[in-house]
Each structure stands twice: as C-alpha cells, then as structure tokens.
C-alpha cells in the first residue's frame, strides 16, 4: 500500500470513529441507563449484564487455571469465534431497546441463560472431548444426553453467533463456496461447512444426522463425514409421517441409532436417565404451553425473544436440562406477573404477527425495531410452534416413540416434507389460535422448499384476506439483503397494505 | 459427430422433440394407459404390466417458465419449473396417471403445485426412503404394493404376479438390448457416440418398450457392423449428473472431438440398465431391492462410497480419460454432494470438470469452451 493509500485508509478509519463510539456507547450499560431513566429497569439490566459477563469470565478463567495458559491460547486459536461472545451484552442491549419491566427482564434472562448453556457446551468440548459427538440440529439430543454423551450440534453456532455479530458467517460462507459448494445453497449449511474447512469446529467421535430439514442440510453430512473421517449414523424421516407405519419405522431407526452409538462411542444407554430427561422436557413443554395460553391474551404479556429464542435454543440445544426448565419457569412467572399487573410487552400493541421460517439471525432486533416503529408484536413463529404430545415415560419403547414423534413432526421437518397442507395448515391455525393480524414469511433465499410455497400461500392469504409480508433476506448472510433493505420491505408493507403510520421516526441501527 | 447418418437416430430425435410422441399416440389408440413418472425410483417394470406404459416425463421445447416461476420461484431447478409449466399448458394430455417421488425439495414442491393447479385423473406419491437397510427395503416394498393396488383398482389393470413377471421379462429384454449397445462403448473406438446412445435410451424411456424395441434391435445390428467413428477422438469422457433428458447437451460436449462413453445420470445407463434378477422371492420386493441397486442418487444417505466406487469402476472399465459432472442450477443434492465427490475422484488421479447448467440447453458456447479447456488440461 502506498503512502496515499495509507492516508486515505487512516482518514476513513478516523471518520468512522465517532459513529463507532456512538454505537459503542449506545450499546453499553451507560447507554441503557441514559435511555431508560428508570431505576428498576436499570437494576434489572445491570444484574443480567453482570451475570452474563461473569459466565464468560468463568469459562475463560476456569480453562486458564485448569489447563494452563498454553491450552487457553490454543483453544482460543482453535475456536476464534469464542471472541464473538465478548459482545454478548451488546446483543442484550439491542434486544432490550425500549423494553421495560418484566418484558425487559425476560429478554435479559434469555441472553444470560444462553450464555450459561454456551459455557456448559464449551466445557464439554474442553474437558470431555472423548464423549462429544457431532449431531444435526434437528436430531434432538435427549438420547445422547441419556447415554452420557455431549452433542455438538453442527449448525447451532452458525445461527447463534450472527445474532451477536451479523457479519460472523461471511468468511465461512465464502470458504465453502470457494471449496465448490453451490452458492445458492442455504447459507446455514455453507457456514457449517466453512467452519469445518477452516478447522474451527470440534471433531467429535461420531456423527448422528438425518435427512432433515432440506436437501443441502442432509447432503452436507457426506462432506462432513469425509472431512472428519468418523463413523456416521443417519436417521430417515419418511415423507408422509402422520401415520403409525411411519412412526414405527422411525422408532426402529432410533433404536438402531442407540445400538450404533453404543458400538461407536463410550456412551451407554441409561433408560432411567432418559426418563429424567424426557420428564424435564415434558415439564418445559407444559410451561411453554402455559406461556402460549398467556400470549393468546390481547395485549400479550410477553413476546418476541421470550417466545421464539427460548424455544429455538433451549428446546433444540439443551432440552430436558435443568437450566432449560428453570428458564421456562422464570418466563412463565414473568408473564403471570405482567398479566396480573395488566402490563403489556409492547406498548401499544397494535398488530400481532406470526413469523414463518427461522427468524433473522443477523438482524434479530428488527423485531424490537418494529415494536417501536409500528407496535408490531411477535406472538409466534414456525420454529416455536412445535406442537406434539407429551412423551410417555413409562417404558423405553414409549420414550423412543415419543422422541421419534418429536423429531418427525418438529417444525421445519413438518413444514419441509409431506403435502403442502403440512405447511399451510399450521400458518392458518396459528393465525386463528393467537388472534393475529398479519403473517410474516422470513423468505430466506436459500430455502427452496419455502420459496416454492409462496405462490400458493399468497393466493390462499388473498382468499382469506390475511395480510402477508414475504420478507426477502438471507438467513445468516447480510450481504444478500441489507438491514436497510429489510426495514424498507416492512415499511412498504405497513404503509401500503396495513395503512399504518410509524409511531417513531426511522430506526437508527446501532 | 453426425447423428443424422442413420435414419434410426433421426427417428429418435423426432420421438424426443415433444413431451409425447407418435408411438405413445398409437399405444393410447390401442387402449393402453400411459403413466408419467419423474424419478428413477419409480419401478418402470411395474408400470409396464398389462396395459400400462411408463413415460419418463420431460419438458422439451419449453420456451419459458413464467407461470411456474410465479408459483415455484426462480430459485427452484429449471427441470421442475419446466415440468410445472408444461403441466399447466396441458402438454401431457395423453398421460392418464402420474407417479411422483418426492426425491428432493424441488420435486416435493412440484407435487404440491401440480396438485394445487391441476386436477389429475390419477396421482400417487411414492415415499422412497433415503436408506436401503432391510427395514427400508420392506418399506419400499409396501410402497410399491400400495401403488400396484391403486393402479389396479383405478385403471382395472392386471397387476397379479403373473402379469408382473411378464412385465419384468419385457423390461429385462429391453435392458439386455440397450446394455449390449452400451457395451460397444467399451471398444477402443466406440462405434456409437454418447449423443446417439442417449437418443436411443431417452426415446425408450418415453415410449412403450415393446414398440421401441424393434428400433433398438435394428440400431444394435447396424452399430455392430459399424467400425469406429472414423475420426480422431481426443478424449473419452464419462458424464455424471442428475436429470439429463436432452441428447443435444451431450452433442455440445462431444463437438469438441470428445466422445461420451459412459453415463451415470438419472436417465443414463450406469447402473440404470441393470437387469432385474428374479430370486424366487416376492416380485414386488425384488423390484424394491432392484430400485435401490440401480439408482445412484445423492439423496441416498450412507451410499456415498458405493456411488464413488461405481464411478471409479466405470472409469476403468470404459477407459475414461476424464469425468464431466453436470448439475442443474439450484440443485442442492448434486451441488453439495459433488464437493466431496469431485475431491474423491480427483484424488484417484482422474480429471474432473463440473458444469452447472439449466434444464433447457443454453450457453452452448460456454460449454464448448469449458470442455475444450478441460480436454486441453488433460494434455489431449
């Protein structure tokens, strides 16, 4: 670089300092205190801010003292994305903008609990690697948990980390495209492949995956298996799964997986332990159903992250864990308190929405922004609407059958296979059940199955007079549709379809 | 390569010019029942029983996919979109029944959109597993049995064991003839080009087998008398990929003085032309076992090593200089699976060229340039 270039670069950097400082300040505790002007809210925020930092420091210090500085540095180099977690409280700040009271607390609580589970997962990676297996995110981890194994879900951090740092996935997506993966494949899958290619993923002693949720998501495991050269077991969910024949087949498949895991890992099935995990999962569901019932009330006592992020992380990553149960107990308690005091999550709640497809990991606070801009309240999302029976914990067979049911009929699985009704009926059921005003489709460009349903959905919504927003974006790559582009789509929809006026001026992203 | 030097290939070109052909028309007039299908997991032999005629559904001559784009979006593979466009345009009026396989996300949504936009006289979705363990073979056997029952009760056709055995015999006869033509490609100088072979094979997949068989036998006789192509071939290629039903695509590849001697595509011969071995067991189960054996699709999990091994064996058997992989844009199955596959094939010292394409033949100049560069990179 010549001198002129260096000067230009320095000038550009210098010019960016004021806006960066402003954003830093806005996203800091001080920023919250100035904005909130409420002692109670400030106390809540500071409490969870401190607890989240404490969890992060605990992870680092424990590793330092247990394994020494060399190992600490080695692990940080192996998993450089751990540095992203240092921004976790920034995410808490963005999520909580404009929120108050118990709704504020529910949001802080979730960020803190996620930090706790991340610590738990990383400790398994650091201290018990011989018991770590790679798992696909839709193969729920209750069985490995009961076998004394720890599942590293290949895709999870690809979803979580862009929440904190929107550009997180870009270098991994580029790496996988450079390797030859088709650029039009889902970025979620490309990110996982990229992390493997760069050596930033733990390896595990075995892999369990499936044919879910989509072609790219399933096929990538041939690549993963060859890169890692460890044994793999792949579950197969039939196309039509709402019948006993399919359930029987899949339950047998699960039984085979248990046997296979016993052969290929140090894990041994402990049916009593599985019973405990399943009971805890049932308890989580019981609490979640109570939360849903409260969300049906207008205006809703809690919304957004309390509903979708709690489900997405805790039901998929750590179901049946004590932490997860405790989180849902606290969320239900907060919702009850709000109901009792007639406090609402969003003031004023003008529109109630369902979000279809996974939320917006690289711009999750668009939901918060839209709360303030239009009074839109996110009541439900497709990933959360994981309606299924409680697991019958009476026998090993009944537990496996219950888990089979959950995996086969879980969101994404249910919506990406079987006839179109599986996809459409849930949307219209939610619309009715939660008395909603609009349907938002998170139209991830890499989700071909979803894209190919938009034509039918558009016509059905027109027939039923349901306002429909198909919001184009890429799941974890903000280069495809910018944050401004996403906000613009919502603005056009609200102005032209809903005839709504903004409550606040344009949202400034910080 | 000149595909027009034998009238027989001209005839095949005529058969493939539109989604339906004169042989099919004749068959319909004779009271036979064409059943359209979209995937190699549909048992052709079963659809040959009694008055049934299996027809691999294609969409040649699709000028645009405006309506399909509206429903399926632009991010779905152009084969699927072309099919939907053709369904909406009533281009399959001779076809009385449809058998679909939700083999990929695109096909699943094609099924949904076809059902939404058109009322089909008969439509069945075969639930084909992604694994081929014993319990999954049983599952597919049941699926085929349900299909047979539905066909039998709807069309009043005889799908008894005797009728099925006869159909299997007919299918095996066709396979033996096509296979023997394919074997000619192992010769140092192949008397048949890849384009010609594909013309025969595709025409056979869209016509009643018994009516196309005389053409195939005549072609075989002529080809056995033929020497080599009479020109210097720079490279012997193997073609790998998913749906490829337009021989013109192969002609473009071969225009660079190459010859495609082996094909592993959904519509190809390796290992698609594997005879059904009657082992004394229930025929429907034999068909299920056969389907898993003769179909090599990236949708099949835990089958990567077999797919790779068959490719490597074919390369040796047919003395292939290089492998060309063709993938229809937006196909995630092939797009993702080919990453480890290309790596694995290259690690065996075999040159590989990956071409992304649309269903409709387009970008011929680019294909030619890339194939030419590929052949040059092999030092040929």
pLDDT at A27 over 80: no
What pLDDT score was predicted for residue A507?
54
Residue A472 inside a domain? The answer is yes
Q: Which two tokens stand for residue B331?
A: 């196909």
pLDDT at A22 over 90: no
pLDDT at B3 over 60: no
Q: How many domains does chain B have?
A: 1
pLDDT at B1 over 50: no
Closest chain B residue to A249, measured at CA = B135
pLDDT at A509 over 60: no
Residue A330 inside a domain? The answer is no
Task: Report pLDDT digits (tens) over B322-341.
Answer: 999 999 999 999 999 999 99
How far B264 CA sits from the closest chain A CA (Å)? 19
pLDDT at A118 over 80: yes
Q: What percent of chain B has pLDDT over 70?
A: 97
> Which residue range(s) make up the domain with B43?
20-155
Alpha carbon distance A418, A423 (integer Å):
9
Last residue of a domain, one of A89, A105, A127: A127
Strand order in the sheet with B352-357: B258-264, B235-241, B322-328, B352-357
**Residue range B364-370: average pLDDT?**
95
- Check: CB of residue B172 under 8 Å from CB of residue B211: no
Alpha carbon distance A369, A372 (integer Å):
5
**Residue range B118-134: average pLDDT?**
96
Residue A203 inside a domain? The answer is no
Residue B248 inside a domain? The answer is no
Alpha carbon distance A15, B358 (integer Å):
47
How far A236 CA sits from the closest chain B CA (Å)? 6
Residue A288 inside a domain? The answer is no
What pLDDT score was predicted for residue B289?
96
Q: How many domains does chain A have?
A: 2
- Return the CATH number at A506: 3.40.50.11900
Residue B258 inside a domain? The answer is no
Confidence of residue B9 (pLDDT cuts 50, 70, 90): very high
Residue B120 inside a domain? The answer is yes
Asked if B105's CB is within 8 angstroms of A452's CB, the reply is yes
Q: What percent of chain A has pLDDT over 90?
A: 83
Poorest-pLDDT segment among A16-20, A273-277, A284-288, A300-304:
A16-20
Count residue pairs from A and B with Cβ separation < 8 A.
Answer: 148
Closest chain A residue to B332, measured at CA = A216
Residue A477 inside a domain? The answer is yes
What pLDDT score was predicted for residue A357?
87
- Share the mean pLDDT of chain A: 93
Residue B315 inside a domain? The answer is no
Query: Helix or strand or coil: residue A132?
Result: strand
Q: Are strands B322-328 and B33-37 parallel, antiparallel or unpaired?
A: unpaired
- Share the mean pLDDT of chain B: 94
Last residue of a domain, one of A105, A127, A149: A127
Last residue of a domain, one of A100, A127, A154: A127
Point out the residue among B73, B329, B332 whose CB comes nearest to the CB of A219. B332
Helices (H), A27-169: 29-36, 39-67, 69-78, 88-96, 101-127, 142-146, 156-164
Q: Centre a 10 Å sphere on the Cβ of residue A51 and count the other Cβ atoms it contains.
A: 17
> What is the ipTM metric for this complex?
0.92
**Residue range A143-149: average pLDDT?**
97
- Return the CATH number at B90: 3.40.50.11890
Residue B113 inside a domain? The answer is yes
What pLDDT score was predicted for residue A508?
53
Alpha carbon distance A478, A469 (integer Å):
19
Query: Helix or strand or coil: residue B361?
Result: coil
Token pair 């084909």: residue = B128
pLDDT at A96 over 50: yes
Confidence of residue B2 (pLDDT cuts 50, 70, 90): very low
- Check: CB of residue B324 under 8 Å from CB of residue B374: yes
Chain B contact set for A245 (CB, 8 A):
142
Token pair 């080695």: residue = A74
What pLDDT score was predicted for residue B5?
55
> Sign of the C-alpha dihedral, residues A76, A81, A86, A92?
negative
What pLDDT score was predicted for residue A12?
85
Task: Report pLDDT digits (tens) over A337-379.
Answer: 999 999 999 989 999 999 998 889 999 999 999 999 999 999 9
Task: Report pLDDT digits (tens) over A301-337.
Answer: 999 999 999 999 999 999 999 999 999 999 999 999 9
What pLDDT score was predicted for residue A16?
83
Confidence of residue B114 (pLDDT cuts 50, 70, 90): very high
**Residue range A118-146: average pLDDT?**
95
pTM of the complete model? 0.93
What pLDDT score was predicted for residue A19?
81
Alpha carbon distance A220, B336 (integer Å):
6
pLDDT at B278 over 70: yes
> Which residue range(s) make up the domain with A77?
23-127
Chain B contact set for A420 (CB, 8 A):
109, 112-113, 115-116
């Amino acid at each position: 670089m010549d001198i002129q270039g260096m000067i230009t670069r320095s000038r550009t950097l210098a010019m960016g300092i004021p806006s960066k400082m402003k954003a830093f300040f806005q996203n800091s505790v001080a920023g919250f205190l100035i904005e909130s002007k409420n002692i109670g809210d400030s106390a809540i925020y500071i409490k969870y801010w401190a607890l989240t930092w404490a969890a992060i420091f605990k992870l680092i210090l424990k590793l330092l003292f247990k394994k020494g500085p060399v190992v600490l540095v080695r692990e940080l180099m192996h998993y450089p994305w751990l540095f992203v977690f240092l921004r976790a409280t920034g995410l808490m700040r963005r999520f909580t903008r404009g929120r108050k009271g118990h709704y504020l607390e529910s949001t802080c609580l979730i960020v803190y609990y996620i930090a706790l589970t991340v610590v738990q997962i990383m400790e398994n990676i650091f201290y018990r690697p011989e018991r770590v297996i790679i798992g696909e995110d839709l193969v729920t981890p209750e069985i490995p948990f009961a076998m004394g194994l720890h599942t590293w879900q290949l895709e999870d951090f690809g979803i979580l980390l862009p929440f904190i740092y929107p550009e997180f996935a870009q270098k991994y997506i580029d790496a996988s495209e450079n390797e030859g993966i088709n650029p039009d494949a889902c970025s979620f899958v490309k990110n996982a492949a990229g992390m493997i290619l760069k050596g930033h993923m733990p390896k595990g002693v075995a892999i369990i995956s499936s044919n879910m949720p989509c072609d790219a998501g399933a096929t990538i495991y041939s690549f993963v298996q060859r890169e890692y050269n460890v044994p793999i077991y792949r579950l197969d969910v039939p196309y039509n799964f709402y019948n006993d024949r399919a359930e029987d087949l899949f339950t047998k498949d699960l039984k085979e997986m248990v046997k296979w895991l016993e052969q290929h890992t140090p894990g041994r099935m402990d049916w009593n332990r599985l019973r405990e995990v399943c009971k805890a999962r049932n308890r989580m569901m019981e609490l979640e159903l109570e939360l849903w019932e409260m969300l049906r009330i207008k205006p809703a006592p809690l919304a957004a992250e309390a509903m979708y992020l709690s489900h997405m992380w805790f039901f998929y990553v750590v179901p049946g864990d004590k932490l997860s149960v405790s989180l849902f107990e606290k969320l239900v308690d907060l919702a009850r308190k709000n109901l009792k005091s007639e406090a609402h999550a969003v003031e004023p709640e003008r529109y109630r929405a369902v979000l279809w497809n996974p939320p917006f990991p690289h711009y999750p606070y668009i939901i918060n922004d839209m709360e303030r801009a239009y009074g839109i309240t996110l009541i439900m999302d497709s990933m959360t609407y994981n309606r299924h029976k409680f697991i019958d914990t009476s026998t090993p067979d009944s537990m496996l059958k219950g888990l089979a049911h959950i995996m086969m009929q879980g969101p994404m699985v249910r919506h990406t296979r079987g006839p179109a009704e599986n996809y459409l009926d849930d949307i219209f059921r939610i619309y009715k059940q939660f008395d909603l005003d609009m349907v938002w489709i998170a139209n991830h460009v890499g989700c071909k199955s979803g894209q190919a349903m938009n034509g039918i959905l558009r016509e059905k919504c027109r027939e039923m007079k349901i306002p429909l927003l198909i919001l184009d974006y890429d799941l974890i790559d903000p280069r495809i549709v910018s944050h401004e582009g996403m906000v613009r789509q919502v603005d056009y929809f609200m102005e032209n379809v809903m005839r709504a006026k903004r409550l606040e001026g344009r949202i400034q992203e910080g | 390569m000149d595909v027009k030097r034998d009238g027989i290939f001209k005839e095949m070109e005529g058969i493939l010019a539109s989604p339906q052909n004169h042989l099919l028309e004749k068959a319909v007039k004779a009271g036979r029942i064409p059943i359209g299908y979209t995937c190699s997991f549909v048992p052709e032999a079963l659809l040959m029983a009694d008055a049934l005629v299996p027809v691999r559904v294609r969409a040649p001559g699709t000028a645009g996919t405006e309506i399909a784009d509206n429903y399926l979006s632009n991010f779905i593979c152009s084969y699927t979109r072309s099919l939907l466009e053709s369904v909406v345009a009533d281009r399959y009026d001779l076809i009385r029944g449809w058998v679909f396989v939700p083999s990929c996300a695109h096909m699943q949504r094609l099924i949904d959109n076809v059902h939404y936009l058109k009322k089909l006289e008969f439509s069945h979705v075969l639930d084909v597993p992604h694994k081929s363990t014993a319990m999954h073979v049983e599952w597919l056997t049941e699926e085929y049995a349900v299909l047979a029952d539905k066909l039998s009760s709807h069309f009043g056709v005889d799908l008894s064991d005797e009728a099925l055995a006869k159909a299997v015999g007919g299918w095996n006869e066709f396979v033996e003839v096509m296979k023997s033509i394919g074997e000619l490609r192992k010769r140092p100088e192949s008397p048949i080009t890849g384009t010609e072979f594909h013309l025969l094979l595709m025409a056979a997949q869209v016509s009643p087998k018994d009516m196309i068989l005389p053409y195939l036998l005549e072609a075989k006789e002529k080809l056995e008398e033929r020497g080599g192509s009479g020109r210097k071939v720079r490279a012997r290629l193997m073609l790998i990929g998913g749906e490829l039903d337009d021989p013109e695509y192969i002609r473009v590849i071969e225009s660079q003085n190459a010859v495609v001697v082996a094909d592993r595509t959904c519509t190809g011969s390796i290992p698609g032309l594997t005879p059904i071995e009657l082992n004394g067991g229930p025929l429907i189960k034999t068909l299920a076992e056969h389907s898993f054996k003769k179909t090599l699709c990236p949708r099949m999990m835990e089958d990567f090593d077999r797919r790779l091994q068959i490719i490597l064996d074919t390369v040796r058997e047919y003395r292939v200089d290089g492998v060309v992989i063709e993938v229809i844009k937006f196909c995630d199955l092939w797009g993702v699976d080919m990453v480890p596959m290309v790596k694995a094939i290259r690690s065996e010292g075999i040159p590989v060229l990956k071409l992304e394409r649309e269903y409709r033949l387009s970008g011929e100049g680019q294909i030619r340039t890339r194939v030419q560069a590929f052949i040059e990179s092999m030092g040929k």
